[in-house]
């Protein structure tokens, strides 16, 4: 055990002993004093811009920002005083003075950190009101950017650079004209943005938000000519309950299905089915490449944030990336072919809605590769978990007390392997369950691959399959993926298969998931862990836990697709990628 | 080992031989002088010298001569005569100066500075020390004694008596300097003075027993080719070579003792001894903060790190400030030398000069200096033949004011957006690329060779108890003689404004002096006797700052002055922290409201409250100091604010929205001049009849007021 050097300081008159590397804010946290804060985020670098967290330190001329100021032996700190109350109030008022102040019509009404802070700090009147900055809203991409709501805390800049390695955002212009934008003032679509939506998640207000998908869904639901169906991603069932008072990590699959039926969807399908199918296709692709020892490692392609990142920053990895569509896009393609044929519906009169934990899925859905031969997208609308929560509330559906419903057949039947797709390492684990049995022909008894579970940024292991050591890499969060891939490209590491999920923790912490409950924060590893636990619990409780044992999948191949990786499969279930550079870059 | 001192001596000899030329013409050629036509003047001299095949006259460009209101300035020096400084030179004037002075040796007196100062007949100048210590020893009286004795001896026409700044020889005082003979007298009494006048001034035989025989320290700081009177109460330590040597000529820098300090440090001193010398000198950061330079160096020296950096902050950005630019344009090698010494002291092998891109001439001269130093082996590997490596790179700033803040400057050098980061950790611990880094201002570096060569004790002898040495100011505004001036710490504001600056222009009344740039404050007449030092200025409600000094007269509105500075800082705020970004904007809005005639009861209190919040919570010095001009003007000129807010009146008659124009019937003769000028045709009246202004249509442009020759347009 390493012995950390500790210091004792005095906070509001009481001694506090903490490691010497702590800041005053961290020290205060240990004794349950929450210094008010805004720009601070525990999982991002500390930059001390908002100045809300000022405290008084004896011997310092001015109050200091507690989030950045290091503790010292014998230091005397005051976290509350008439001066500090006034300063904090004034600072928050200054932020409000340059804010639209349209709380009632704002999508973050009730969850906004600024709103809460201004209440907590007692901003009850506006003393310094003046001109307000005016900027147009950038609606070019699935992630909308509204600089007027921006309070310049810099969290989005940090998450985009530090966690996702994208560095698409930074502050531009000076002083009052300061604005967070992509480089050269390009709009989000022309930039290197990968639409992962982590900026949406960390924003204390709503300077970033997802493109609205709800209006189109409401309209479709009220159109009697349309056959409206919905599919829900694995991660939704572990998080949607949070919107209705459930603790994070409470699985609410049954209530969700019932609620969606009440909302008017004619059929409720499970993206899990697409996940099982993905496993069949991807493991077939993997085994074929492995046998021929070509184009290795295979890199998964379920995460559209990762696909966007790969196309922008690692186009050289296009040949290594699995050609499998994501579970959502596979299922949508089948809905408008196999299912439509089966139930005798004109696929052109179908409206497929996907509820996703993800903002990048909105981009994926509108890509040309995911369009049907008649030109319409296979997935007509994508709404995030957040959006669906709001829709259900809007419809007055009393979610909490609903009876459990069941997904529609056959595209609602799924294995436990599909459920765990929502957590980092889950795709890999699901693939291993199938690949192992397919290669060895033996039954896998130990289904849990603990080596790939957990929220660590990079996980590696080696699995013995039929005497062959299969080397595996798993990364979540694109900065972590970058580290892993750079080592692969430099030849330092070799893997046979790599799973990458763009969001830290995987889809359970995707850019479209509910804002965290009080006491937790976005990027909180514990939040991702709790949601993931729900998925692993669902998997553990199922008797069907391997994708290739899913009878509906077997039926689908028999009736419609033929063999895995067949020509038909390629038409409907596979895709291709192309390098995407921001405007002005070749 | 080092190019031994012998090498310097050789160069020195070469140099002296070079200037055994009959005459030397130097053209002040800094950015502002070039803008005033110095380049054309230089070219004309060159053409004429070439045309007449004159070989024994050296023509060179020098840096800033320090006299903004007189430029272009040309100095002509020939041996044993008082140099002639020609002011307001033009190419046509060059022709006559060339004919008369260069060819025939007869100065064109009426174009010289001494003619303007009324002492043109003097052939010798006695500068009696005006420093505090010598004054106690009776200097003032001695100046009188000199004058009386000179008059008695019938030398009044050929000898000028003046007072000078401290010579730094307090223990030998009172002292006086005779020019151009370069003789310094010590321990003066009235009797000695009488003897000097008789023997020396009369017969050119120095009074040997009173001649200062030690190392002639102060001589190095007197312009060797200059004009003593010209500098008045100044003491040029930092600017010792500016306007005197050719900044693009390494030989000239060597001739005035250049790089001797660097050689001394590298060959005779340890890094710790070097740091201790700087600490002992009492030198404090000249960028404005006033942090003891030696202490800062010591922090960096005590850091264990293979890589360290030293940075010269030349990102001078205060409106109207040009101290650093002039220093680099006039004496770039001194910065290079200061950085070599600093790098050695803290253990940095790489230096950076961060200079704003708007200073092309300074950059060019610095590049020339760095290249020459590299060629001479003063920069690069094994400098001066020692084992020490040191080199300097120039980094250009893109013009953001905040990049003068050290953490923002570091970010900018790293290639990031120049925004400050919270301290601690301080740059001396974690700076450029995370390594221990010392950042010093140009003026601080310019002092370093002096501290080393003349010793910390000599340096300490100048200035006040807590502020040692001199300070350079860019004296601007409504003062008669604007310019780049350098005075010993402790000189009063009154002395700077009146003695050095020549008082207020056009006989107007003094209202305030603004020091410290946008981070500083405005001090009224009651504070004129405040000594220029860090503590006194801060106590008076302003700051030393980097050296901007703007004199404000009765025609200026103090609310408008505050608005001007706040407009600047709010525009230059980087936008990172809330109080500076949002708060300065709100303060500016309130000031605009007040000057625009829309002031409300309570606005002054709101300004003070915002100012306090911004000062106490901003992330960096820019924000913490931004409200200072407002705070100090409210403190000292609150009644002006109140007049704007309550009476909707601008006492200085500046704020257009608060003015009204009316025609005084008693004075109007009906000439129609105002009517013709009015852009909105709101003045009516028949010729030779009293005119009238329709106030409802008047746009308050003031053209009628300017046009009326009979004071018949009244402005209220």
Residues A70, A155 within the same domain? no
Residues A270, A204 within the same domain? no
For an interface test with A, the pick among B430, B578, B610 (most A C-beta atoms closer than 10 Å) comes out as B578
The answer, for B605 touching chain A at a CB cutoff of 8 Å, is no
For position B159, what pLDDT does the model report? Answer: 85
At residue B14 the predicted structure's pLDDT band, cuts being 50, 70 and 90, is low
For an interface test with A, the pick among B572, B587, B613 (most A C-beta atoms closer than 10 Å) comes out as B613
Domain boundary at A80, A96, A124, which? A80
The answer, for B571 touching chain A at a CB cutoff of 8 Å, is yes
* Mean pLDDT (whole number) for A403-426: 94
> Phi and psi of B376, rounded to 5°?
-80, -5
**Residue A450 among the catalytic residues:** no
Specify the range with the lowest mean pLDDT, choosing from A406-415, B125-134, B517-526, B595-604.
Answer: B125-134
> A242, A103, A86, A351: which is closest to B608 by C-alpha?
A86
Q: For chain A, give the mean pLDDT.
A: 95
For position B292, what pLDDT does the model report? Answer: 97
Kindly tell me if the per-residue pLDDT of B310 is higher than 60: yes
| Residues in A 23-52 with any Cβ partner in B closer than 8 A | 47-52
| Residues in A 321-360 with any Cβ partner in B closer than 8 A | none
CB contact under 8 A, A48 and B581: no
For position A146, what pLDDT does the model report? Answer: 97
Q: In angstroms, what separates the C-alpha of A38 from chain B's closest C-alpha? A: 11
Residues A383, A499 within the same domain? yes
**Residue A437 among the catalytic residues:** no
Contact between B486 and B496 (Cβ < 8 Å): no
Q: For the sheet containing A458-465, what is the strand order?
A: A298-299, A497-501, A468-476, A458-465
For position A324, what pLDDT does the model report? Answer: 97
The answer, for B591 touching chain A at a CB cutoff of 8 Å, is no
Q: A112, A160, A196, A507: which is the annotated catalytic residue?
A: A507
Kindly tell me if the per-residue pLDDT of B9 is higher than 60: no
Element (H, E) at A480: helix A478-489
In a domain, A128, yes or no: no
Helix (H) and strand (E) counts in chain B: 32, 21
DSSP string, B135-152: HHTTHHHHHHHHHHHHHH
Contact between A424 and A473 (Cβ < 8 Å): no
Closest residue in A to B620 (Cα) is: A49
CATH number at residue A11: 3.10.20.740
For position A116, what pLDDT does the model report? Answer: 94
DSSP string, A213-282: -HHHHHHHHT-TT-EEEEEE-GGGGGTGGGGGTPPTT---HHHHHHHHHHHT-SEEEEHHHHHHHHHHHH
For position B306, what pLDDT does the model report? Answer: 94
Cα-based distances in Å from B223 to B58, B182, B243, B281: 18, 10, 9, 23
The answer, for B411 touching chain A at a CB cutoff of 8 Å, is no
Specify the range with the lowest mean pLDDT, choosing from A40-44, B440-444, B455-459.
Answer: B455-459
For position B167, what pLDDT does the model report? Answer: 65
| Residues in A 75-134 with any Cβ partner in B closer than 8 A | 83, 86-87, 90-91, 94-95, 97-98, 127-128, 130-131
CB contact under 8 A, B576 and A86: no
The answer, for B422 touching chain A at a CB cutoff of 8 Å, is yes
* Mean pLDDT (whole number) for B468-473: 93
> A435, A506, A430, A496: which is closest to A475 by C-alpha?
A506
Residues A419, A512 within the same domain? yes
Contact between A189 and A246 (Cβ < 8 Å): no
pLDDT digits (tens, 9 = 90+) for A128-155: 999 999 999 999 999 999 999 999 999 9
B541/A25: higher pLDDT: A25
pLDDT digits (tens, 9 = 90+) for B261-303: 999 999 999 999 999 999 999 999 998 889 999 999 999 999 9
Q: Across the interface, which of A49, A83, A98 has its CB nearest the CB of B576? A: A49
Residues A153, A280 within the same domain? no
Residues A245, A392 within the same domain? yes
Give me the interface pTM, i.e. the ipTM: 0.92
A126/A3: higher pLDDT: A126
Q: For the sheet containing A64-65, what is the strand order?
A: A14-19, A6-11, A76-78, A54-57, A64-65
**Residue A571 among the catalytic residues:** no
In a domain, A519, yes or no: yes
For position B12, what pLDDT does the model report? Answer: 47
For position B396, what pLDDT does the model report? Answer: 96
**pTM of the entire predicted model:** 0.89
Query: Percent of chain B beyond pLDDT 90?
Result: 60
For position B217, what pLDDT does the model report? Answer: 47
Q: In angstroms, what separates the C-alpha of B575 from chain A's closest C-alpha? A: 4
Kindly tell me if the per-residue pLDDT of B171 is higher than 80: no
Kindly tell me if the per-residue pLDDT of A272 is higher than 60: yes
**Residue A369 among the catalytic residues:** yes
Closest residue in B to A99 (Cα) is: B582
In a domain, A285, yes or no: yes
Q: In angstroms, what separates the C-alpha of A517 from chain B's closest C-alpha? A: 27
Query: Percent of chain B beyond pLDDT 70?
Result: 91
For position B165, what pLDDT does the model report? Answer: 66
The answer, for B120 touching chain A at a CB cutoff of 8 Å, is no
Residues A226, A148 within the same domain? no
Q: A113, A210, A242, A285: which is the annotated catalytic residue?
A: A285
Contacting residues of B for A68, CB less than 8 Å apart: 422
pLDDT digits (tens, 9 = 90+) for A559-575: 999 999 999 999 999 99
At residue B246 the predicted structure's pLDDT band, cuts being 50, 70 and 90, is confident
Domain boundary at A211, A240, A269, which? A211
Residues A248, A185 within the same domain? no
For position A549, what pLDDT does the model report? Answer: 95
The answer, for A62 touching chain B at a CB cutoff of 8 Å, is yes
Q: In angstroms, what separates the C-alpha of A541 from chain B's closest C-alpha? A: 51
Residues A199, A260 within the same domain? no
At residue B251 the predicted structure's pLDDT band, cuts being 50, 70 and 90, is confident
For an interface test with A, the pick among B398, B582, B589 (most A C-beta atoms closer than 10 Å) comes out as B582
B150/B123: higher pLDDT: B150
Residues A473, A557 within the same domain? yes
Which DSSP category does A211 fall into? P
Kindly tell me if the per-residue pLDDT of A279 is higher than 50: yes
Kindly tell me if the per-residue pLDDT of B3 is higher than 50: no
pLDDT digits (tens, 9 = 90+) for A59-88: 999 999 999 999 999 999 999 999 999 999
Q: Residue written as tokens 């460009």?
A: B61
For position A564, what pLDDT does the model report? Answer: 94
For position A409, what pLDDT does the model report? Answer: 87
The answer, for B618 touching chain A at a CB cutoff of 8 Å, is yes
CATH number at residue A498: 3.40.50.1780
For an interface test with B, the pick among A50, A94, A147, A171 (most B C-beta atoms closer than 10 Å) comes out as A94
Kindly tell me if the per-residue pLDDT of A253 is higher than 70: yes
Q: Across the interface, which of B421, B570, B581 has its CB nearest the CB of A152? A: B581
Kindly tell me if the per-residue pLDDT of A15 is higher than 90: yes
Residues A193, A251 within the same domain? no
Domain that holds residue A178: 143-211
From the number of C-beta atoms within 10 Å of its C-beta (0-12, 13-18, 19+), residue B120 rates as middle
* Mean pLDDT (whole number) for A441-461: 93
Q: For chain B, give the mean pLDDT.
A: 88
Specify the range with the lowest mean pLDDT, choosing from A518-527, B29-38, B174-183.
Answer: B174-183
Q: Pairing mode, if any, of strands B548-553 and B470-477?
A: parallel
Q: In angstroms, what separates the C-alpha of B589 from chain A's closest C-alpha? A: 7
CATH number at residue A152: 3.30.70.20
B48/B178: higher pLDDT: B48
**Residue A81 among the catalytic residues:** no
Q: Residue written as tokens 């080393």?
A: B452
* Mean pLDDT (whole number) for B369-387: 95
Specify the range with the lowest mean pLDDT, choosing from B10-14, B286-290, B602-606.
Answer: B10-14
CB contact under 8 A, B582 and A94: yes
For position B7, what pLDDT does the model report? Answer: 34
In a domain, A261, yes or no: yes
- Contacts (Cβ under 8 Å, ≥6 apart) of A87: A54, A63, B613, B616, B617
For position B119, what pLDDT does the model report? Answer: 66
For position B182, what pLDDT does the model report? Answer: 72
For position B10, what pLDDT does the model report? Answer: 45
CB atoms inside a 10 Å sphere around CB B88: 16
Specify the range with the lowest mean pLDDT, choosing from A110-124, A321-335, B190-204, B272-286.
Answer: B190-204
In a domain, A581, yes or no: no
For position A247, what pLDDT does the model report? Answer: 94
Domain boundary at A59, A80, A101, which? A80
For position A371, what pLDDT does the model report? Answer: 96
At residue B11 the predicted structure's pLDDT band, cuts being 50, 70 and 90, is very low
* Mean pLDDT (whole number) for A237-245: 96
Count how many domains chain A has: 3
Residues A250, A324 within the same domain? yes
For position B4, what pLDDT does the model report? Answer: 35
Q: Residue written as tokens 């390492």?
A: A425
For position A102, what pLDDT does the model report? Answer: 93
For position A2, what pLDDT does the model report? Answer: 61
Domains within chain B, CATH numbers bracketed:
5-116 (3.40.30.10), 124-226 (3.40.30.10), 250-458 (3.40.50.11540), 470-556 (3.10.20.600), 559-646 (1.20.1440.230), 660-715 (3.30.70.20)
In a domain, A108, yes or no: no
């Amino acid at each position: 055990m390493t012995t950390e050097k500790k210091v004792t300081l005095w906070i509001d008159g009481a001694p506090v002993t903490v490691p010497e590397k702590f800041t005053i804010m961290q020290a205060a946290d240990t004794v349950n004093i929450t210094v008010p804060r805004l720009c601070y985020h525990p999982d991002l670098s500390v930059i001390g811009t908002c100045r809300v967290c000022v405290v008084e330190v004896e011997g310092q001329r001015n109050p200091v920002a507690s989030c950045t100021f290091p503790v010292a032996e014998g230091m005397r700190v005051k976290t509350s005083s008439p001066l500090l109350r006034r300063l904090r109030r004034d600072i928050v008022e200054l932020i409000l003075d340059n804010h639209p102040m349209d709380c009632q019509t704002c999508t973050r009404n009730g969850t906004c950190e600024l709103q809460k802070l201004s209440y907590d700090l007692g901003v009850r009147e506006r003393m310094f009101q003046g001109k307000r900055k005016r900027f147009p809203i950038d609606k070019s991409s699935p992630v909308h950017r509204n600089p007027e709501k921006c309070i310049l805390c810099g969290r989005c800049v940090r998450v985009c650079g530090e966690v996702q390695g994208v560095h698409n955002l930074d502050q531009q212009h000076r002083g009052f004209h300061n604005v967070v934008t992509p480089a050269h003032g390009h709009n989000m679509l022309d930039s290197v943005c990968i639409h992962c939506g982590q900026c949406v998640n960390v924003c204390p207000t709503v300077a970033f938000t997802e493109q609205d998908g709800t209006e189109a869904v409401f309209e479709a639901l009220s159109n009697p000519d349309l056959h409206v169906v919905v599919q829900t991603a694995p991660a939704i069932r572990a998080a949607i309950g949070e919107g209705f008072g459930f603790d994070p990590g409470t699985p609410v699959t049954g209530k969700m299905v019932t609620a969606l039926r009440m909302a008017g969807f004619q059929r409720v399908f499970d993206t899990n089915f697409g996940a099982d199918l993905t496993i069949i296709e991807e493991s077939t692709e993997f085994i074929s490449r492995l046998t021929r020892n070509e184009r290795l490692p295979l890199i998964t392609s379920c995460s559209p944030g990762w696909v966007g990142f790969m196309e922008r920053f690692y186009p050289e990895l296009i040949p290594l990336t699995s050609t499998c569509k994501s579970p959502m896009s596979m299922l949508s393609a089948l809905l408008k072919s196999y299912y439509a044929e089966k139930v005798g519906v004109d696929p052109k009169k179908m409206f497929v809605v996907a509820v996703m934990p993800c903002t990048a899925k909105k981009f994926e859905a509108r890509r040309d590769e995911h369009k049907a031969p008649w030109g319409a997208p296979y997935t007509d609308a994508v709404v995030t978990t957040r959006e669906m929560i709001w829709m259900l509330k809007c419809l007055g559906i009393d979610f909490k007390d609903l009876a459990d419903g069941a997904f529609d057949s056959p595209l609602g039947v799924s294995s436990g392997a599909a459920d765990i797709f929502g957590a980092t390492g889950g795709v890999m684990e699901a693939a291993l369950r199938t690949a192992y049995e397919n290669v060895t022909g033996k039954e896998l008894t130990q289904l849990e691959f603990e080596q790939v579970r957990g929220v660590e940024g990079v996980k590696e292991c080696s699995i013995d399959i039929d005497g062959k050591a299969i080397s595996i890499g798993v990364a979540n969060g694109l900065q972590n993926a970058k580290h892993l891939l750079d080592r692969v490209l430099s030849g330092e590491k070799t893997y046979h298969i790599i799973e990458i999920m763009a969001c830290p923790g995987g889809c359970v912490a995707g850019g479209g998931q509910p804002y965290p409950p009080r006491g937790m924060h976005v990027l909180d590893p514990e939040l991702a862990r709790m949601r993931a636990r729900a998925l692993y619990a669902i998997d553990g409780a199922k008797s069907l836990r391997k994708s290739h044992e899913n009878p509906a999948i077997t039926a689908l191949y028999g009736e419609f697709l033929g063999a895995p990786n067949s020509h038909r499969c390629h038409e409907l279930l596979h895709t291709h990628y192309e390098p995407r550079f921001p405007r002005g870059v070749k | 080992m080092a190019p031994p001192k012998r090498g310097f001596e050789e160069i020195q000899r070469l140099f002296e031989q070079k200037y055994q030329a009959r005459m030397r013409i130097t053209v002040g050629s800094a950015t502002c002088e070039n803008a005033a036509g110095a380049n054309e003047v230089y070219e004309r001299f060159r053409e004429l010298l070439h045309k007449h095949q004159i070989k024994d006259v050296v023509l060179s460009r020098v840096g800033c001569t320090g006299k903004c209101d007189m430029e272009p300035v040309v100095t002509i020096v020939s041996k044993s005569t008082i140099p002639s400084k020609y002011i307001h030179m033009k190419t046509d004037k060059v022709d006559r100066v060339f004919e008369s002075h260069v060819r025939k040796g007869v100065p064109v007196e009426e174009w010289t500075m001494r003619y303007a100062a009324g002492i043109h007949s003097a052939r010798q100048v006695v500068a009696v020390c005006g420093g505090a210590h010598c004054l106690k020893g009776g200097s003032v009286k001695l100046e009188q004694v000199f004058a009386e004795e000179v008059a008695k001896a019938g030398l009044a026409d050929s000898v000028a008596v003046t007072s000078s700044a401290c010579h730094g020889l307090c223990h030998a005082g009172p002292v006086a300097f005779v020019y151009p003979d370069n003789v310094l007298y010590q321990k003066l009494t009235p009797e000695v003075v009488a003897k000097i006048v008789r023997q020396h001034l009369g017969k050119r035989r120095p009074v040997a027993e009173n001649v200062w025989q030690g190392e002639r320290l102060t001589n190095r700081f007197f312009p060797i080719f200059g004009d003593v009177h010209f500098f008045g109460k100044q003491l040029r330590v930092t600017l010792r070579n500016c306007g005197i040597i050719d900044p693009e000529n390494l030989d000239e820098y060597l001739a005035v003792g250049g790089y001797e300090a660097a050689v001394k440090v590298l060959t005779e001193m340890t890094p710790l001894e070097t740091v201790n010398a700087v600490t002992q000198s009492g030198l404090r950061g000249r960028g404005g903060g006033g942090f003891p330079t030696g202490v800062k160096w010591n922090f960096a020296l005590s850091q264990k790190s293979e890589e360290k950096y030293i940075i010269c902050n030349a990102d001078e950005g205060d409106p109207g400030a040009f101290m650093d630019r002039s220093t680099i344009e006039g004496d770039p090698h001194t910065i290079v030398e200061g950085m070599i010494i600093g790098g050695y002291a803290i253990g940095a092998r790489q230096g950076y000069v961060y200079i704003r891109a708007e200073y092309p001439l300074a950059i060019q001269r610095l590049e020339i200096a760095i290249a020459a130093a590299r060629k001479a082996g003063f920069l690069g590997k094994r400098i001066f033949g020692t084992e020490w490596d040191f080199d300097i790179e120039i980094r250009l700033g893109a013009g953001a004011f905040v990049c003068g803040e050290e953490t923002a400057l570091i970010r900018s050098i790293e290639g990031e957006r120049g925004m400050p980061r919270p301290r601690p950790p301080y740059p001396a611990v974690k700076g450029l690329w995370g390594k221990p880094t010392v950042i010093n201002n140009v003026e601080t570096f310019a002092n370093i060779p002096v501290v080393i060569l003349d010793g910390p004790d000599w340096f300490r002898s100048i200035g006040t108890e807590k502020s040692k040495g001199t300070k350079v100011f860019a004296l601007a505004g409504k003062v008669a003689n604007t310019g780049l001036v350098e005075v010993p710490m402790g000189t009063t504001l009154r002395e700077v404004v009146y003695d050095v600056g020549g008082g207020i222009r056009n006989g107007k009344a003094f209202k305030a002096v603004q020091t410290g740039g946008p981070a500083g404050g405005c001090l009224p007449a009651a504070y004129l006797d405040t000594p220029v030092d860090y503590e006194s200025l801060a106590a008076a409600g302003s700051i030393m700052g980097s050296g901007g000094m703007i004199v404000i007269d009765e025609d200026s509105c103090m609310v408008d002055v505050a608005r001007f500075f706040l407009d600047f800082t709010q525009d230059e705020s980087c936008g990172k922290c809330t109080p500076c970004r949002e708060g300065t904007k709100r303060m500016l809005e309130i000031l605009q409201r007040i000057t625009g005639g829309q002031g409300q009861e309570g606005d002054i209190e709101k300004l003070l409250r915002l100012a306090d919040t911004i000062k106490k919570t901003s992330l960096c010095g820019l924000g913490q100091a931004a409200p200072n001009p407002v705070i100090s003007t409210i403190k000292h000129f609150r009644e002006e604010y109140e007049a704007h807010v309550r009476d909707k009146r601008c006492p200085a008659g500046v704020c257009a929205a608060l003015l009204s124009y009316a025609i005084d019937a008693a004075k109007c003769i009906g000439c129609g001049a105002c009517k013709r000028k009015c852009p909105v045709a709101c003045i009516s009246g028949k010729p030779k009849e009293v005119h009238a202004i329709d106030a409802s249509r008047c746009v308050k442009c003031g053209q009628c007021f300017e046009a009326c020759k009979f004071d018949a347009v009244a402005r209220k």
